[in-house]
Amino acid sequence: MAIKIAPSILSARFDRLGDQVKEAGEAGADLLHIDIMDGHFVPNLTMGPALVKSIRPITKVPFDTHLMVTHPQDFITAFADAGTNDLTVHVESDHDVRATIRAIRDAGLTPGLVLNPATPFEKAVPYLADVSLLLLMTVHPGFSGQAFRAEVVPKIREARAYIDKEGLDVEVEVDGGIKVDTAPIVAKAGADILVSGSGIFPDRIRENLKAIRAAAEKARGR
């Protein structure tokens, strides 16, 4: 399967967000990554369902909503109604992970599980049969523009190997510090979906996206 690129709008210019979303769609984004932060699970506040709803009509690109909140189970319906396609939740949040995943599916969305850089792959294993996405953070969540954490690379390899061995229908997504120089590293390690915020937005969106995709595809060689 071809590499997918998911530009993260956290790095877009919010004063002209609609145009930036449109541009990312026209540039060939496979998904649009939307970072939801509650100022509690992570030390930052970003956006909510109202924003997702307002940009939904601008593009046909599927929305990949990343919930960095303490109680993800409380927001499933709101983001489903706002028009997201998938919803990813952290294993470290305060919830019954299995119940949340089931509720996401019941809401008609594609569920994904997220692991922080320090969380071992084993924590995801009990849920892998029930999710379609495994998002491995390559920075501590909270802010865009941070440096890629190379110590997560063995975990990407481990996830890839396990998913292939078990024949699971789970895509491996990576998020944080992905740019032209780090895209080949994660692609080679087995990532399917590359999130990139400051590597793509706010200027030269098309060129940046194209360069990241080319670098990743070259490194992957499969």
Q: Which residues are tagged catalytic?
A: 35, 175
Judged by CB under 6 A, the residue of 195, 212, 215, 216 near ligand DX5 is 195
Judged by CB under 6 A, the residue of 199, 213, 216, 220 near ligand DX5 is 199
Which of Zn ion, ligand DX5, none sits in contact with 10, Cβ below 5 to 8 A by type? ligand DX5
User: In this structure, what token pair is assigned to residue 40?
Assistant: 């509690």
Q: What is the b/e burial string over 33-54, where b = at least 16 CB atoms within 10 angstroms of the residue's CB?
A: bbbbbbeebbeeebbbbebbee
Rounded Cα gap, residues 167 and 42, in angstroms: 33
Which of Zn ion, ligand DX5, none sits in contact with 196, Cβ below 5 to 8 A by type? ligand DX5
The phi and psi torsions of 127 (rounded to 5 degrees) equal: -110, -5
Shortest reach from residue 166's CB to ligand DX5, in Å: 27
Residues that bind Zn ion (CB under 5 A): 35, 66, 175
Which of Zn ion, ligand DX5, none sits in contact with 142, Cβ below 5 to 8 A by type? ligand DX5
Residue 132 in the binding site for ligand DX5 (CB under 6 A):
no
Rounded Cα gap, residues 116 and 134, in angstroms: 11
For the chain, first and last CA: distance in Å? Answer: 8
Using CB under 6 A as the criterion, which residues of the chain lie in contact with ligand DX5 when the complex forms? 8, 10-11, 33, 35, 66, 139, 141-146, 175-178, 195-199
